[in-house]
Structure 1
């Protein structure tokens, strides 16, 4: 009788620890995971049979599939850059939001400044210059490391 009760308890407990979600990345990679939450453009999850919490950028994830209900949620749309005017599609991220994206290249640019420009305008022009440079090379994401008029630097990321 004890063996039967133990076997039934194990069967029910095994379902509680099973993978509940599948994370599908934009690069085609699939990851079995237990979804926790989405916060600050990051998806928090844990791997099967582990309580350690991991993070991935929501921009790296295409969809989140819930296995038990056959329910799928689109997390982010893939960004396709075809020409330089697509620079408005390039997303500026913080360093912590780039987890799961592939680091591609360091971008540099120089900004010619007219006399009398405000700091805010210079900052905006610098960001747009870096975005145009990234779009021209086909990178969807940048992390700006320096936005000074004589020293514009960013790190480019892609799927």
Structure 2
């Protein structure tokens, strides 16, 4: 009887230890599918898309990215021209001050040609090889890819093109 009691007591004490030793399974990381570029000029949808693309290209970036987004034309020529001028001035000013290694510049708009113009103007005065380690992400039309790539190449940036399709 003593032996049976001791075995039962030992089993009761050992059972929680064995349960605690069970290896926990690693949690499965759920990765959302990439968003597709909006077919319309809806700014809310475009902002969500740009945010998704920027987030997916952040590997190795140590600072908050500089994101330049030009809203779709509203039909008000003065307002549209003002939006373009302000963004172009900001992009040119930021690039001319110098961007250091580990930063990202992301450019996007439903109007790819205008955004390409902004990038070309911003990088026009950049000295060669002064932006090594900086990533430039251009979200736009394939027709504007080469023009933007040629404009940023002298600065020695890492250029990533994401076709908005």
TM-score (norm 2): 0.22
Larger helix fraction of residues: 2
Larger strand fraction of residues: 1
Report the structure number with the largest CA radius of gyration: 2
TM-score (norm 1): 0.22
